[in-house]
Amino acid sequence: MRKFYGTDLPNPLMLGTAQYPSPAILEEAFRASGAGVATVSLRREGAGGAGQTFWQMIRDLGVYILPNTAGCHTVKEAVTTAQMAREVFGTDWIKLELIGHTDSLQPDVFQLVEAARILSEDGFQVFPYTTEDLIVGERLLEAGCEVLMPWGAPIGSGRGLNNEYGLRAMRAEFPDTPLVVDAGIGLPSHAAHAMELGYDAVLLNTAVARAGDPALMAKAMAQAVEAGRLAYEADPIEARDMAEASTPVIGKAFL
Amino acid sequence: MKIVLNGEARDVAATNLAALLVECGLTGKVATAINEEFVPAGLRATKTLNEGDRVEVLAPMQGG
């Protein structure tokens, strides 16, 4: 498995921390899945100090923390958010989101590249939420990124891999770069599919948090990414249009 | 002094950012910005507040 900025992950599942029915269920989902990375955000703190309780719980999970810049629409906003996240969470990792489209939450790749360059030069280890566009991927690597995170489908849509061809092409184009399918996963089969393409990890949130039984779905996702990875390593057969008998013809009785 | 804290208009006695956090009970794990510029924790005590400043105090929260 490729390293993420020099770090080996315990398994290929990165799990979001939003939208769970309760903090206890969130914790249960993490324990059931063994996910090694938790994505988190920064929001305005209220007088009640809600953020402090959350932070304590996340720290107790003992996983790698990947703060995001969710909801940012400009380079300036994303860079400032990243700087604030680095101080609070004590990590150089940043999941860089630059949202460009209101309905699809498609990344604004032009601003993404610019922000990635500024943050990389400032010592951040950037995990850019991008599309499957190869040229954008190339530009992000030139900007200093050592990981690429193309979307599977729009955030929260649960559609799976909208463009398998594009994701496959990305894997072929960047053989040495850790690649993560981020967003759009709805089912374990989607997550397994991403791993079968040779992706290094899958990042998902809604599919687990909004499931009827989040902990059970988290476990299913963990097994799916593991199965997908093993399948990729096992070098699967090529699909073909016609049948090919698997039982030997030689030795068949003449009856 | 009148400032805007996390989007709400406030009248505060504090004259620097560190004192403002104490005055408003925001003493946990937070990150700060004034007028869209990040202010590192180490600079809060020397960061003077001005009338009309927009102060953001952010804390860890759930995210995807």
CB contact B11 to A (< 8 Å)? no
Angle of CA points A89, A225, A62, to nearest 5°: 30
Cross-chain residue pair B28–A45, CB shorter than 8 Å = yes
Q: Alpha carbon of A202 to those of A65, A136, A139, A160: distances in Å?
A: 15, 20, 22, 11
Q: Give the pLDDT mean for A112-128.
A: 98
CA distance A150 to B1: 47
- For the stretch A138-153, pLDDT in tens is 999 999 999 999 999 9
- What chain B holds in terms of domains, given with CATH numbers, is 2-58 (3.10.20.30)
Q: Rounded CA gap, A107 and A104, in Å?
A: 9
Q: Is A24 on the interface with B (CB under 8 A)?
A: no
What is the share, in percent, of chain A residues with pLDDT greater than 70? 100
ipTM: 0.95
pLDDT recorded at residue A249: 86
Put simply, the answer to whether A18 touches B63 (Cβ < 8 Å) is: yes
Question: Band of the pLDDT at A48, cuts 50, 70, 90?
Answer: confident
Judged by CB atoms closer than 8 Å, whether chains meet at A41 and B61 is answered as: yes
Tell whether the model's pLDDT for residue A46 goes beyond 90.
no
pLDDT above 80 (res A9): yes
